[in-house]
């Protein structure tokens, strides 16, 4: 995105006159020379444009517009160090001009000198508070730096105007809002982006993440495919890994493997995720001693790989709850903002029967990610074990709404009502469970219900149970 901005910003301001390429008796006039440079620039004759601007500056050294256009011509000729000096000089000559500061910032960003670029962008916004390029560029830097709230605020400013707002701008706003935890606003911004451009790569990638978080993995796959086709080559590796991840979550392991096989050379920052995905896609069972041995070897080579620690935690979850907990803790320490790792850690706490601690963490996770199904399921289990049946019931009811096909949830809903003395509600839920239950899968629960129903019906007939159904103390 920043590279594209640099190209746009370095285009000539406008052409003032149409003249011949050679110098004539007007060559002593710096304005005429500048106009000739503009004309050559318009025709992509960057060498001639540079010569004209240079000659104009010899005649008038304090000519900020010529310095700026000289910088633009130098960028086109890939003489970036000289371009930097030209933009710097243009900014010095005109303290009230945002454009050279923005172009200088873009050059510095392309050289990975973002620390020097940010003050220039902030100064540009002091000069021109609604400059969309400065807002967009600074928001991108703030988002990369992890200050998502600041990025979102900048993008709200950039999109407040009624003119010139592009799909890319709405998409970046949505990305910042999602990173800041404002998922409702993010969804609105992403939809605005997709109305303007259904193929916008950033918008599609962001919606893919949202769909995956909601459990819509086929939808996530569809969006990430479009994003991959529309993206710049520099984004290909990252988006391909997301495609492989979503294919895996959608149950299409074969295609996920094929996607990974095509990624023969990966930047180092993506190698960790690729290793974790390959491990998950291995033919051997994830919870075997052999799988754990492979993960542990990978961790020896890359001890700061949070994804591998999380995989080890998942593999140990049943075999050794304490090792599972320790592994997930390491993953969370490395990437504290990763909701999936925090959820795995909390699930390991449930497995280790540390229910109170698990419930506290799970409530925080759900506050940040309300649609996290695994978190809700583990919270229900923890609250049930703590005999906090009213709270557990609310979680079971949420699960039932999300997964109405899951018969056993009705058993737990019924049991929670039963434990609360809400016998009529318990009976209705038990009967719903029996109507949906599978004789083999739910055999144990079916037997429990059959044993309970005769006495439950008698209690209801005698008028027993709570009279203020659902309102009393636990």
* DSSP code string of 218-286: HHHHHHHHHHHHHS-GGGHHHHHHHHHHHHHHTT-HHHHHHHHHH--S--HHHHHHHHHHHHHTSSS-T
Residue 378 belongs to domain spanning:
283-386
Confidence bin at 17 (pLDDT 50/70/90): very low
Judge whether residue 467 has pLDDT over 80: no
Instruction: Quickly count helices (H) and strands (E) in the chain.
Output: 26, 0
Residue 204's pLDDT is 96
Residue 426's pLDDT is 92
Distance separating alpha carbons of residues 48 and 53, to the nearest angstrom: 9
CATH of the domain at 370: 1.25.40.10
Give the up-direction half-sphere exposure of residue 308: CA atoms within 13 A in the CB hemisphere: 21
Residue 112's pLDDT is 87
Confidence bin at 96 (pLDDT 50/70/90): very high
Mean of the pLDDT values across residues 391-403? 93
Residue 124's pLDDT is 92
In a domain, 230, yes or no: yes
In a domain, 327, yes or no: yes
Least confident span in 15-29, 152-166, 335-349, 404-418 = 15-29
381 and 466 part of one domain: no
404 and 472 part of one domain: yes
Alpha helices for 302-386 (secondary structure H): 306-316, 321-334, 339-351, 355-368, 373-385
Confidence bin at 300 (pLDDT 50/70/90): confident
Distance separating alpha carbons of residues 324 and 321, to the nearest angstrom: 5
Distance separating alpha carbons of residues 123 and 224, to the nearest angstrom: 37
Distance separating alpha carbons of residues 254 and 226, to the nearest angstrom: 20
**Boundary-marking domain end, from 368, 386, 404:** 386
Judge whether residue 160 has pLDDT over 50: yes
Residue 69's pLDDT is 94
Mean of the pLDDT values across residues 348-359? 92
**Boundary-marking domain end, from 281, 299, 318:** 281
Residue 219's pLDDT is 94
352 and 412 part of one domain: no
In a domain, 432, yes or no: yes
Distance separating alpha carbons of residues 331 and 304, to the nearest angstrom: 8
In a domain, 41, yes or no: no
In a domain, 418, yes or no: yes
In a domain, 235, yes or no: yes
**Boundary-marking domain end, from 255, 281, 307:** 281
423 and 378 part of one domain: no
Confidence bin at 173 (pLDDT 50/70/90): very high
Mean of the pLDDT values across residues 139-155? 91
Choice between 396 and 321, residue whose per-residue pLDDT is larger: 396
In a domain, 257, yes or no: yes
422 and 457 part of one domain: yes
Judge whether residue 3 has pLDDT over 60: no
Residue 472's pLDDT is 42
207 and 256 part of one domain: yes
pLDDT tens across 26-77, in order? 557 999 999 999 999 999 999 999 999 999 999 999 999 999 999 999 999 9
Distance separating alpha carbons of residues 433 and 104, to the nearest angstrom: 67
404 and 437 part of one domain: yes
Confidence bin at 473 (pLDDT 50/70/90): very low
Contact at 8 Å (CB) between 395 and 380?
yes
The residues near 430 (Cβ < 8 Å, ≥ 6 apart) are 410, 411, 414, 449, 452, 453, 456
Q: For the purposes of burial, counting CB atoms within 10 Å of the CB of 246, is it exposed (0-12), middle (13-18) or buried (19 or more)?
A: buried
- pTM for this structure? 0.55
Residue 438's pLDDT is 87
Distance separating alpha carbons of residues 366 and 379, to the nearest angstrom: 9
Distance separating alpha carbons of residues 411 and 50, to the nearest angstrom: 79
214 and 273 part of one domain: yes
Give the mean pLDDT of the chain. Answer: 86
Domain total for the chain?
3
In a domain, 46, yes or no: no
Rounded to 5 degrees, φ, ψ at 335 are: -130, 80
Mean of the pLDDT values across residues 209-214? 88
pLDDT tens across 175-202, in order? 999 989 898 999 999 999 999 999 999 9
381 and 289 part of one domain: yes
Distance of CA 450 to the CA centre of its chain: 48
241 and 291 part of one domain: no
Judge whether residue 7 has pLDDT over 60: no
Residue 4's pLDDT is 45
Judge whether residue 428 has pLDDT over 70: yes
Confidence bin at 282 (pLDDT 50/70/90): low
398 and 467 part of one domain: yes
Distance separating alpha carbons of residues 454 and 458, to the nearest angstrom: 6
Judge whether residue 8 has pLDDT over 50: no
Residue 19's pLDDT is 35
Residue 11's pLDDT is 42
CATH of the domain at 426: 1.25.40
Distance separating alpha carbons of residues 305 and 287, to the nearest angstrom: 19
Give how far Cα 281 sits from Cα of 229, 256, 389, 399, 416, Å: 24, 8, 39, 28, 38
264 and 319 part of one domain: no
Residue 286's pLDDT is 59
Confidence bin at 283 (pLDDT 50/70/90): low
């Amino acid at each position: 995105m920043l590279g594209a901005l640099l190209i746009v910003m370095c285009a000539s301001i406008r052409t003032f006159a149409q003249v011949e390429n050679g110098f004539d008796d007007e060559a002593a006039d710096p304005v005429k020379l500048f106009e000739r440079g503009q004309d050559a620039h318009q025709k992509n004759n960057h060498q001639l444009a540079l010569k004209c601007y240079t000659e104009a500056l010899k005649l008038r050294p304090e000519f900020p517009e010529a310095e700026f256009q000289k910088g633009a011509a130098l960028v086109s000729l890939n003489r970036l160090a000289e371009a930097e000096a030209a933009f710097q000089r243009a900014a010095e000559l005109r303290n009230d001009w945002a454009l050279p500061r923005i172009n200088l910032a873009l050059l510095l960003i392309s050289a990975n000198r973002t620390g020097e670029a940010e003050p220039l962008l902030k100064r540009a916004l002091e000069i021109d508070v609604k400059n969309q390029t400065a807002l967009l560029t600074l928001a991108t830097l703030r988002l990369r730096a992890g200050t998502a709230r600041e990025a979102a605020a900048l993008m709200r400013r950039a999109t407040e105007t009624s003119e010139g707002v592009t799909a890319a701008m709405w998409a970046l706003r949505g990305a910042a809002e999602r990173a800041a935890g404002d998922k409702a606003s993010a969804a609105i911004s992403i939809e605005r982006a997709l109305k303007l451009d259904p193929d916008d790569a950033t918008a599609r990638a962001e919606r893919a993440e949202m769909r995956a978080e909601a459990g819509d993995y086929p939808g996530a796959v569809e969006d990430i495919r479009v994003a991959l086709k529309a993206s710049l080559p520099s984004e290909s590796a990252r988006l391909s890994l997301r495609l492989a991840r979503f294919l895996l979550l959608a149950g299409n392991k074969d295609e996920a493997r094929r996607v990974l096989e095509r990624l023969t050379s990966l930047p180092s920052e993506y190698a960790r995720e690729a290793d974790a995905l390959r491990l998950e896609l291995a033919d051997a069972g994830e919870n075997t001693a052999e799988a754990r041995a492979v993960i542990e070897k990978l961790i020896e080579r890359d001890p700061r790989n949070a994804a591998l620690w999380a995989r080890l935690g998942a593999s140990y979850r049943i075999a050794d709850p304490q090792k599972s907990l320790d592994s997930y803790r390491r993953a969370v320490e490395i990437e504290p903002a990763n909701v999936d790792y925090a959820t795995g850690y909390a699930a390991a706490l449930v497995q280790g029967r540390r229910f109170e601690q698990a419930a506290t963490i799970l409530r925080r996770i759900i506050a940040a990610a309300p649609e996290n199904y695994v978190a809700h399921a583990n919270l229900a289990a923890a609250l049930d074990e703590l005999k906090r049946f009213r709270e557990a019931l609310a979680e079971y009811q949420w699960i039932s709404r999300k997964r109405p096909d899951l018969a056993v949830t009705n058993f737990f809903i019924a049991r929670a009502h039963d434990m609360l003395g809400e016998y009529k509600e318990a009976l209705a839920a038990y009967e719903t469970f029996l109507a949906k239950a599978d004789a083999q899968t739910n055999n144990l629960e079916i037997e429990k219900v059959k044993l309970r129903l005769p006495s439950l019906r008698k209690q209801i007939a005698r008028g027993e149970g709570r009279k203020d159904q659902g309102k009393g103390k636990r």
